[in-house]
Amino acid sequence: MTSPSTAAIELERRSTDAPIARANTAPHALAGAIPDIMRAATYDTFGAPDVLRIGDVVVPQPGPGQVLVRVRAAAANPWDWHFLRGLPYIARLNGAGIRHPKHQILGGDVAGEVVAVGEGATRFAVGDHVFGFIEFGAFAEYAVAPESLLAAAPANVTFEQAAGVPLAATTALQGLRDAGAIRAGDRVLVIGASGGVGTFAVQLAKRFGAHVTAVVSGRNASLVRALGADRVIDYTREDVTAGDDRFDLVLQLAGTASASALARVLAPGGRLVMSADAPNRWVGPMGRMIRGLLLGRIHGQSIAVLTAKWNAVDLTFLAGLLDAGDIVPVIDSTFPLADLADAIRYVESGRARGKVLISVARSYTTAEPDRS
Ligand SMILES: NC(=O)c1ccc[n+]([C@@H]2O[C@H](COP(=O)([O-])OP(=O)(O)OC[C@H]3O[C@@H](n4cnc5c(N)ncnc54)[C@H](OP(=O)(O)O)[C@@H]3O)[C@@H](O)[C@H]2O)c1
């Protein structure tokens, strides 16, 4: 497949970060530099991004099986605003917290360096450069992470690029490979191909040997072509669900097309993988999931909802693809930690092209000495 150059997909950069170099520091060389207090973006009530506050909090300690990561970069994902708002409400029963947020520091995707190792954690040493999806805590200068959710960061990307990969690329990979059972030669339709997940989905589908049709707005046509899309449909001009084209796999990441409308464009034996996003504030995707499953049963079609099970095996696989230049993170923009609320607002707008990143280690370089 054609690999777009990094330069071609850096849409807007707001910081200058250096590529990650492999760590060669002696074990525990940095351990003495860990402060007691760190800067973090916190919230203690569910709401709009305005509820986020930047302040000082105690640096967490790694527990058994965990490491402490000095965060260099994080990514803002739809995941974060769902937990920020506590929506859909059903998510509050599922770990977000009932009346108040259970986790005061958001931030799932992280890239940084290991500065301390908890009891029994053996995969990484102090000084290692890692990345991964850790669910919570990355919007801070330090974060604890289960080592089972991390992988060694590839040396040819920046910390910011690495932070854009874990959740979005794992979701794209599992959506195509596991839920979508992608095969070489498949005709794959990616709806929402210009977003955080979609930009990885196009590249991964090409890597799996598929013929990729990308559904985007006109402004993003050249972006997805550069990522390898064979054909582009501008959703503002053409409704793919009303056309005669048929696909072996449809990955729906954006738009409001119903499961039955999407199922109509499936070829015999085709698979539909639908985004879990839904406007329902109470049950979110549950209604959509149930309708999709019922529809699949009735028509003998494979209809699944897009979910991701983050794990180090897939992350290591993705790290290898990054290392080889077979996939490249598309970066829409990079915000300093102090502007996290703006970053999350932007992600929530649904207009991002690729990933929205948070630069943490350099967030305070204008006010404080660089601790690099
Ligand atoms: N990000 C993750 O890691 C993650 C993980 C698990 C699940 N998910 C789910 O996967 C879905 C996609 O997430 P994402 O992060 O990729 O979203 P995203 O980055 O917010 O997607 C934004 C992109 O979608 C495009 N878009 C908006 N409406 C569209 C439409 N009707 N048809 C085609 N493209 C459209 C936008 O371009 P235009 O504005 O130019 O149209 C923009 O480039 C969401 O449902 C999310 O909840 C995401």
Q: What pTM does this model have?
A: 0.89
Region 341-369 average pLDDT: 81
Q: Determine, yes or no, domain membership for 324.
A: no
At 281-293, the pLDDT tens digits run 655 556 666 666 6
C-beta of 160 in contact with ligand 1 (< 6 A):
no
**Backbone angle region of 226, left / alpha / beta, with phi > 0 → left and psi within -120 to 50 → alpha:** alpha
At 221-248, the pLDDT tens digits run 999 999 999 999 999 999 999 999 999 9
At 138-187, the pLDDT tens digits run 999 999 999 999 999 999 899 999 999 999 999 999 999 999 999 999 99
Q: Which of 290, 305, 320 is the last residue of a domain?
A: 305
The answer on 113 and 209 residing in a single domain is no
The answer on 199 and 56 residing in a single domain is no
Helices 312-323 and 166-174 pack at an angle, to 10 degrees, of: 100
Domain that holds residue 65: 6-165+329-359
CA-191 nearest atom, ligand 1: 33
Instruction: Supply the pLDDT for residue 316.
Output: 97
Residue 358 predicted with pLDDT over 70: yes
Interval between CA 195 and ligand 1 midpoint (Å)? 4
C-beta of 285 in contact with ligand 1 (< 6 A):
no
C-beta of 273 in contact with ligand 1 (< 6 A):
no
Ligand 1 atom 9: residue of nearest CA: 275
CA-192 nearest atom, ligand 1: 34
Question: Do the beta carbons of residue 65 and residue 128 sit within 8 Å?
Answer: no
Ligand 1 atom 3: residue of nearest CA: 168
Q: How many domains does the chain have?
A: 2
C-beta of 216 in contact with ligand 1 (< 6 A):
yes
C-beta of 329 in contact with ligand 1 (< 6 A):
no
CATH number at residue 176: 3.40.50.720
At 77-128, the pLDDT tens digits run 999 988 999 876 566 666 776 678 889 999 999 999 999 999 999 999 999 9
Q: Where are the alpha helices (DSSP H) in 208-279?
A: 221-226, 259-264
Q: Determine, yes or no, domain membership for 364.
A: no
Region 9-31 average pLDDT: 45
Question: Do the beta carbons of residue 10 and residue 30 sit within 8 Å?
Answer: no
The answer on 160 and 17 residing in a single domain is yes
CATH number at residue 28: 3.90.180.10
C-alpha dist (Å) from residue 169 to 10, 70, 254, 314: 17, 22, 16, 9
The answer on 33 and 174 residing in a single domain is no
